[in-house]
Amino acid sequence: MQKSAPYLVTSLLAFTIAALPGCASFSGTTEPKADEPTPIAVTPTPQEEIRYADFEPEVLYQLLAAEIAAQRGRYDVTLVNYLQAAKTSKDRGVITRAMRIAQSLNADNAQQQLADLWLQLEPDNLLAHRVSAIQAVKRQDLETALIHMERIMEQGEDADFDSLAAMSANLPPAQQRELLQLYERLSERHPGNPELEYSIALLLKITGAPEQALERIERLTNQQPNFQPAIALKGDLLYQTGQTREALTYLTTNTRRFPANRQLGTLYGRILINEGELQAAQDEFERLVKRYPQTPGLRLSFALVALENRQPELAKEELTELIEQGHHTDEASYYLGRIEEDAGNITHAIGYYMSVEGGNYFFPALARASELQAETGELDSALAKIETLRDSNPEQAENFWLLEVNLLLDQQREQDAMATADHALEAFPENIQIRYARAMLHDSLGNTELAEEDLRAILSNQPDNAVALNALGYILTIRTERLNEARSYIEQALALDPNNPAILDSMGWVLFRQGDTEAALEYLADAWAAYPDPEVAAHYGEALWVSGNEEQARVIWEEGLEQDPDHDILIETIQRLTGNGNS
């Protein structure tokens, strides 16, 4: 015996999930706000045709069990029953509803089963092909994904080839190349398709062939001069291939041709920032904010450029509005803290820093708040706060230990910092950052052997750690006569990070100590050009002095003293070579 039931589910049960808090996505509706009445079923008008499906008792039981499970918050059980009902009944309405539930729960396996079932019944169903494509991408089965996307394209719909191409930036290089080959084969079957041509150019960019990408995208923009995604990509590629002026001219023209294109304007603004044209960048982001006042990312960019342009009041206004709107609150609070700190409003600065609750800015904000508290005589309060946070967030304990060590070092509490580092390493002996901090502390206290021991422990776990290799080489250079050994460590570090100014300085200094002043000067000059630091000034100036270039040495020393008039190493060098503390 069969019972007749309304299409999709019985008339009363059709609305049970929609009325449950947190289950709105199952019905495809928007969850009502707390102050709004819960929507109720509306009786169809006589003109509306009610479609009925005949279900076996087994299917009716599965649907009833699914709805009761939803009422009880057991959405996993809801999905299991709907999935089984879909397979048993092969009813399109049940499949549709089951798919919505599977998507709301991010149930990949269920989505794939339902898509397969759907395509058996409707081989051209767009949603089923889209779901199958997405699931294939998640499995990194790119060829299968493109088969479904091609079926979507053949029906005249957007197949999202460009989205898949953009997502490939997160794939391993081999799969990026595979996807590029698959796209090129598709392009041969569908010549002249703008979305495919754009996607191929994007993939060429991602796979490290910007010149080829530019050539391809220029062909597309010549054929489709108003295809805006291609215009944005061309501007990006012009800049990436070193054609800075051409890129800026091209983007200037096209942001005026297409003033509503947010992506194009954002790209233009960011390139202007990279090129140091901060006022032009600020003007561009201001234009975008006026056009898109509800886009928080644009407002944040506008505020940060204004801050770089030394317009803190404007930046403060925009950042405050972001917080009031509930967007980018942690980042906005961090920069408001910086603004107040720069203005000398320490209490307000600490308040903003302490209001950062998470994300990438949490630890920088806590570090600044702690340092400001220490400077105002509240070091113990700052340390207590760090300890409380460490105890309540054990998964982040290592970061809190490191922050405490650095805070104590900044306050010249070396013995306390050492005790803290010891405690931290007892709990986390593999922590590289804390061990490195302790090594530097040992070195500053004259414990060369212990510093060397910590650095060697780091290198036993990370033999290619350029920072540790350089630190060990430099300590051996300045504290011992083991110069050949020191040089070998620095050479390894330099091979790993050839443009690092700290390593260039170390290389120059070990060569100088070995008596090769001419070679030393080349490295020290490069280090000074990249990073004009007082310690580099001491080394570079001494090498110049010894080589007979005394006037040039004095110039370098003066520049170093302008940065830090009390720098111990620089002052000692000048006194030792000139007989007085002035260059």
pLDDT tens-place string over residues 189-247? 888 889 889 999 999 999 999 999 999 999 999 999 999 999 999 999 999 999 999 99
Q: What is the mean pLDDT of the chain?
A: 87
Provide the pLDDT for residue 259: 96
Provide the pLDDT for residue 19: 29
Residue 3's φ and ψ, nearest 5 degrees, are -115, 145
Provide the pLDDT for residue 11: 28
Provide the pLDDT for residue 535: 95
Query: Tell me, what DSSP letter sits at residue 383?
Result: H
- At residue 523, does pLDDT exceed 90? yes
The band of 42, judged by pLDDT with boundaries at 50, 70 and 90, is very low
Q: Dump the DSSP string for 509-562.
A: HHHHHTT-HHHHHHHHHHHHHH---HHHHHHHHHHHHHTT-HHHHHHHHHHHHH
- State the alpha helices, DSSP H only, in 124-227: 126-138, 142-154, 161-167, 173-189, 194-206, 210-223
- At residue 73, does pLDDT exceed 70? yes
The band of 165, judged by pLDDT with boundaries at 50, 70 and 90, is confident
- At residue 21, does pLDDT exceed 50? no
- Per-residue pLDDT of 272-329, as tens digits, reads 999 999 999 999 999 999 999 999 999 999 999 999 999 999 999 999 999 999 999 9
pTM: 0.70
Instruction: Output the six-digit token pair for 105.
Output: 């729960």
Average pLDDT over residues 29-35: 35
Provide the pLDDT for residue 20: 28
> Of 416, 461, 464, which Cα lies nearest the Cα of 438?
416
- At residue 30, does pLDDT exceed 60? no
Provide the pLDDT for residue 583: 55
- At residue 69, does pLDDT exceed 90? no
Contact 333, 323 (CB under 8 A): yes
Least confident of 98-107, 283-292, 392-401: 98-107
The band of 538, judged by pLDDT with boundaries at 50, 70 and 90, is very high
Task: Walk me through the domains of the chain, giving residue ranges and CATH numbers.
Answer: 397-461 (1.25.40.10)
Provide the pLDDT for residue 54: 65
Residue 19's φ and ψ, nearest 5 degrees, are -90, -5
- At residue 16, does pLDDT exceed 60? no
- Alpha carbon of residue 482 to chain centroid: 42
Instruction: Output the six-digit token pair for 173.
Output: 């290089």
Average pLDDT over residues 544-548: 95
Provide the pLDDT for residue 146: 82
Percent of the chain, pLDDT > 70? 90
141 or 49: whose pLDDT is higher? 141
81 or 337: whose pLDDT is higher? 337
Query: Tell me, what DSSP letter sits at residue 548?
Result: T
- Per-residue pLDDT of 260-269, as tens digits, reads 999 999 999 9
- At residue 108, does pLDDT exceed 60? yes
Provide the pLDDT for residue 52: 39
d(CA 130, CA 119): 11
The band of 159, judged by pLDDT with boundaries at 50, 70 and 90, is confident
